[in-house]
Amino acid sequence: MGDSTLMERPRIDDRTSVLVLTGAGVSAESGIPTFRGAGGLWESHSFTDLASPEGFDADPALVWRFYSSRREGAKGCRPNPGHLALVELERRLGDRFLLATQNVDGLHRDAGSERLVEIHGNLFTSRCSSCSRPPFEDRASHLHGAPPCERCGARLRPHIVWFGEMLDPSHLERIHRFLTEAARRGPLVFLAAGTSGAVYPAAGLVDEARQLGACTWLVNADPADNGHRFEHFTQGRTGEVLPDLLGP
Ligand code: OAD
């Protein structure tokens, strides 16, 4: 792993493709709490009660109060320079860029990112827990229990991937396709930013990228759980580091 004291920068020329994976740390400077570490959500809340199908079955009202308060908390938050640096990079690279985010707060889209896969869902989207009604935008707070589906009457739930659930296979497929085609086309950079590397399959993307010959970079405030699998590590806040690291 590289040293973070000298600001190394990934080489990104007009043939390079870049896959970026972001996590909660990227939104921390916008005022959204992270999940792990001091002050993280999972320090004071039980993720089995609040973010699992079993927790939802046991107490849907509690789960909706949690996600409603996260909706209210996220509503006033704005993208920070870390989000904007990724938008700038996408403008330079076009289809040679893809952003996979574990964040559900929508700040990448608010910032202007377009080639974006929200692999853990979206905080402002709900779906039926039973029927095939497509997920829909829902910015409301539901403080008195799970609202009923208009189509079938079953409970609505947040459109979030909970512990024990599978990611949308079409999202993973899009990422795998991007990586393989990019590796065939030219140099490939994989950059993970603001993520603890504790949750799979996202934490395993670095291995897939390396197998395809990617140069791998990690930008994080603290060493990540999967940090030893990156070639380069820049320790710091993404709102400060990404504009320097990715700027022209
Ligand atoms: P975590 O909360 O696990 O990790 C956030 C990481 O960001 C930590 O390693 C912090 O050190 C780092 N960090 C904090 N502030 C930062 C800053 N300003 N700049 C750079 N780094 C900073 O968040 P994720 O890795 O995103 O899943 O967690 C992965 C998944 O676990 C989440 O998507 C969520 C959670 O359970 C679901 O809700 C489905």
Cα(195) to ligand 1 centroid in Å equals 4
Could you tell me if 88 and 202 lie in one domain?
yes
- 2 part of a folded domain: no
Could you tell me if 175 and 134 lie in one domain?
no
Could you tell me if 108 and 142 lie in one domain?
no
CA atoms lying within 13 Å on the CB side of residue 20 = 34
Could you tell me if 97 and 110 lie in one domain?
yes
Could you tell me if 172 and 153 lie in one domain?
no
Could you tell me if 58 and 99 lie in one domain?
no
pTM of the full structure? 0.96
Peptide bond into 248 cis (omega under 30): no
Among 112, 137, 160, the domain boundary falls at 160
Could you tell me if 55 and 85 lie in one domain?
no
Task: Supply the CATH number for residue 150's domain.
Answer: 3.30.1600.10
CA pair distance 175, 204, nearest whole angstrom: 12
Per-residue pLDDT of the chain (248 residues; tens, 9 = 90+): 444 456 789 999 999 999 999 999 999 999 999 999 778 888 888 889 999 999 999 999 999 999 999 999 999 999 999 999 999 999 999 999 999 999 999 999 999 999 999 999 999 999 999 999 999 999 999 999 999 999 999 999 999 999 999 999 999 999 999 999 999 999 999 999 999 999 999 999 999 999 999 999 999 999 999 999 999 999 999 999 999 999 87
Could you tell me if 109 and 136 lie in one domain?
no
Domain count, the chain: 2
Task: Supply the CATH number for residue 171's domain.
Answer: 3.40.50.1220
| Ligand 1 pocket mutation pick from 102, 200, 226, 238 by most atoms within 8 angstroms of CB | 102
Could you tell me if 229 and 207 lie in one domain?
yes
Could you tell me if 181 and 223 lie in one domain?
yes
- What's the chain's length in residues? 248
| Residue 20 DSSP code | E
- Does any ligand 1 atom lie closer than 6 A to the CB of residue 226? no
Characterize the bridge pairing of strands 232-235 and 116-118.
Answer: unpaired
- Does any ligand 1 atom lie closer than 6 A to the CB of residue 41? no
CA pair distance 71, 66, nearest whole angstrom: 9
User: Is residue 203 a contact partner of residue 229, using CB atoms and an 8 Å limit?
Assistant: no
- 192 part of a folded domain: yes
Residues with a known catalytic role: 120
Cα(133) to ligand 1 centroid in Å equals 31
Euclidean distance between the first and the last CA atom of the chain, given in angstroms as a whole number: 24
Of all helices (H) and strands (E), which one includes residue 215?
A: strand 215-220
Could you tell me if 218 and 154 lie in one domain?
no
Cα(1) to ligand 1 centroid in Å equals 20
- Range of the structural domain that residue 135 is part of: 41-76+129-160
How many CB atoms neighbour CB 133 within 10 A?
A: 15
Could you tell me if 210 and 109 lie in one domain?
yes
